[in-house]
Amino acid sequence: MALLIDGKAQARALRATVADAVRRLGTHQGLVPGLAVVLVGDDPASQVYVRRKGEHAREVGMRSFEHALPAATSQATLLERIARLNRDPEVHGILVQLPLPAHIDPEAIIHAIDPAKDVDGFHPLNVGALAVGGEGLAPCTPLGCIRLLESHLGELTGKHAVVLGRSRIVGRPLASLLLKKDCTVTVAHSRTPNPAKICRQGDILVAAVGQPGLVQGDWVKAGATVIDVGITRLGEGDSRRLVGDVDAACVSRVAGALTPVPGGVGPMTIACLLHNTLIAACRQHG
């Protein structure tokens, strides 16, 4: 049976490292990193994520600024709010929770965030920096995937990594991060013929498509390390559950290691957000 990679434990350890660094920054430089999280509307899942981000920021000793705006907020009002946060010296990281209501253009919002405070790594300047292997701020979920992979495999150099999915939030930036780690990278997606055959070539397989249970046992190379980024909510009420892109029951008989859903990539994403906020605060402070 595949070893389960414990994302909760890894996330706890990273939060402890961040908390330690935050304490030292406070003592030696009088700097308290601040994270602003902006939520527009009342999507229940987004509310849960935003609340958790705020709680974890405070737990590691950061300042948390939570901005909950009504669903009818205009794009101009949201842009003004971002401009204010860009100018605020107590705010080092800004995250606008996605998706936004349909009347707001997410591109306009992402472009408006100061790239130095863009802890999501979605601003074109950060996307470009990552694409050329430079030092910007990288998106949190792919960063979490890399940490989980390194915790299990150590060096990633020379591994063949197959990324299933080409989204802006996960697939594309993860491919860039894996290249930076000297992996051989293949990206498969919805238009790839015979994705199972491609996936089977990976020493590493990351599934990030949002299709519950898509990856079956015969999609996976024996002994491969499999990272399941999918989180689809299924069911209602008491039978509500989170389901990944990987059919864990059959894949765990083939893979060497697998991240569970929940308790794998999810907790790492928030821990990496805190780490990005710490990096952003240090850089802004000179």
Residues that bind ligand GUN (rule: CB under 6 A) add up to a total of 8
Q: Which stretch binds ligand GUN (CB under 6 A): 10-18, 28-36, 95-103, 210-218?
A: 95-103
Here the tokens at position 149 are 């992979």
Q: Which of 11, 35, 39, 96 binds ligand GUN (CB under 6 A)?
A: 96
Q: Which is nearer to ligand GUN, 31 or 79 (CB)?
A: 79
Q: Is 146 in the site for ligand GUN (CB under 6 A)?
A: no
Rounded to the nearest 10°, the torsion over CA 47, 49, 51, 52 is 160
- Residue 269 CB, shortest distance to ligand GUN, in Å, is 6
Taking CB positions, which residue lies at the least distance from ligand GUN? 98
Q: Which stretch binds ligand GUN (CB under 6 A): 3-11, 60-68, 91-99, 250-258?
A: 91-99
- Residue 241 CB, shortest distance to ligand GUN, in Å, is 19
Three-class SS string for 33-52? CEEEEEEECCCHHHHHHHHH
Q: Is 120 in the site for ligand GUN (CB under 6 A)?
A: yes
Q: Does the annotation flag 241 for ligand binding? A: no
Residues that bind ligand GUN (CB under 6 A): 95-98, 120, 140-141, 169
> Known catalytic residues?
53, 97, 120
* Binding site as annotated, residues for NADP(+): 165-167, 231
